Structure 1
């Protein structure tokens, strides 16, 4: 097996794994966002400190950043898949060129 083929397989596996990350984060992120709108659990502490709105804003920001991170991972996975496909094609072309020289 050529080095390009090995590299392509490795990139393909990594891209596949990276694409699956969002499957594990969708539900927790949704629950986290829902909780940021219901900060009753802070009770009097939140009211006394006047921190409820700051906490809510921080939670919304964290949820937004997590979503952006997931989007970045998906873009990285696509790029890795494209590079893997390019390596596969290059490997085929190099093998064909080598075969043509022999025969």
Structure 2
């Protein structure tokens, strides 16, 4: 039964870590999005190659995918948390059952 408790604690820790990913990526993602509209660093090279629009589009796509990945991680964190809670409950039920058989 203590194995379930250990597994639940491990899952809870993993879920907590996944929930924090968005906190760490929010600012860099915002800066990345802002940079996609200011590609002055490309200078004339970007204009000559006609790449500015394609680069902006690519950066926008990457930002969108990053946001979607963050949402997916949040959903997985929720599921992992629910599994952890289920393991905690199962551990309690098994402990209660074992005490009932002894008493």
Name the SS for the 2:22 alignment partner: helix
Alignment of 1:8-19 (within 5 A): 8-19=8-19
- Counterpart in 2 of 1:26? 26
For structure 1, which runs of at least 5 residues remain unmatched after alignment? Answer: none
For structure 2, which runs of at least 5 residues remain unmatched after alignment? Answer: none
In 2, Cα distance between equivalents of 1:2 and 1:32: 46
State the 4+ residue runs in structure 1 displaced beyond 2 angstroms. Answer: none
- Counterpart in 1 of 2:71? 71
TM (norm. structure 1) is 0.97
CA RMSD of aligned residues (A): 0.8
Name the SS for the 1:20 alignment partner: helix
